[in-house]
Chain A
């Protein structure tokens, strides 16, 4: 970029000294892009001014999508409720007649800890998408939240946050290998180390790898969990 770009506004508004003006015009002769900027200054300014409109329309679009999610999924909820009911009946029958060992659903119900909702800071566009994604996750619209978290973020801390939620979505949708690999990455971050270890332990339990689960349990900082929670988990580790 030519240094003279910094003089562009002053040139257009006639604020340069006669000497600066001459210098600027001299620079323009040898710089096609600078000349282009001068010729198209009104268009550049108009485009820049319309960024506020663009931002507002994107926000309205997000609100419109947000509004339509519950409508579209209302029917799904009935199906989900029916499925849960059928599943529950099947589970009770299975428990009574066939087995006394806990199923994965039971382990998830007892041991899974949903991450607490959090506010985020960062670049405007990313923040908007992530806030929306977290909101969907909090309301259990995992399918809708998934692509929003999968979009690449522009900085490491937002990417880590996306990975955290992605890992939880994979865990809750039984894509255990994917979940485990993301939690392994998160294990190296100071903020999410304990959460990642805990969830890797949970995944090991779901995959019936008790020995691995015990090892991961031993690495946990237990002060971050309630006694009740730890006892439940220990029950599964025996």
Chain B
């Protein structure tokens, strides 16, 4: 699959994202490439499984906020690049000494994803999920697009609002809702910061 097509699937709609994620998740070639790499680099099977999931998360995040249409190539090597970077970071975090020259060269390439701040702790993620879960699903969609660089015109078009103005109004209401929640729960805000 071409990378450009995969990115368009991520950006188009939730249904297309779901279908792409499911496609990657069940793709034996991609999965075994990542698993082989991790296990050959000293990781266990559960490390491979963890990196595989994080690779998908990182790819979707990057693709969703991606604005350039000049990107080319295939999805599979791109995902491998992400997996390598993530594994390198994970090893650094665990202070394990492994030799990964390919990983270092990948980090400097312009078209390769940078895997920063991907490793959220379970506690932090669960806290984030608690907050985000408070939002109604239409609010989630509007804020998610807005914060990832979609224009109000695009948001109106994708989410079925009659005009850009309606989408803008909805975004303001949803942002106020999220702000209210943080305002009423200052301890959560402190934990996040």
Contacts and interface: CB of A to CB of B under 8 A. Distances in A.
Contacts of B143: 48, 51
A43 B192 CA distance: 9
A48 B131 CA distance: 10
Most chain A C-beta atoms within 10 Å of own C-beta, residue among B140, B141, B180, B193: B140
A223 to B, nearest CB: 34
Given A50-B128, A51-B132, A57-B57, A33 B147 contact: no
Given A44-B175, A57-B57, A49 B21 contact: no
Interface string A52-66: 111111011001000
Nearest to B159: A124
Contact of A48 (B60, B125, B147): B147
B92 interface: no
B57 A60 contact: yes
Contacts of A48: 143-144, 146-147, 175, 178
Interface stretch (B32-40, B71-79, B102-110, B165-173): B165-173
Contact of B179 (A36, A63, A125): A36
B128 A54 contact: yes
Contact of A47 (B15, B61, B131, B169): B131
Interface string B70-110: 00000000000000000000000000000000000000000
A55 B56 CA distance: 12
B147 to A, nearest CB: 4
Contacts of B18: 59, 128
Given A36-B179, A43-B192, A52-B64, A57 B125 contact: yes
- Per DSSP, chain B at the interface is helix
A123 interface: yes
Interface residues of A, number: 35
Contact of A53 (B57, B135, B175, B180): B57
A30 to B, nearest CB: 15
Interface in B38-61: 53, 56-57, 60-61
Interface string B171-189: 0110110111011000001
Interface stretch (A1-9, A69-77, A79-87, A191-199): A1-9
Interface of B: 14-15, 17-18, 21-22, 25, 53, 56-57, 60-61, 64-65, 125, 128-129, 131-132, 135-138, 140-141, 143-144, 146-148, 168-169, 172-173, 175-176, 178-180, 182-183, 189, 192-193
Interface pairs A-B: 5 shortest CB-CB:
A48-B147, A51-B144, A48-B143, A49-B147, A1-B176
7 contacts: A1-B172, A6-B172, A51-B132, A51-B144, A56-B56, A60-B25, A63-B21
Given A43-B192, A46-B147, A60-B53, 10 more contacts: A5-B172, A36-B182, A44-B179, A51-B140, A52-B61, A53-B57, A56-B56, A60-B25, A63-B25, A154-B136
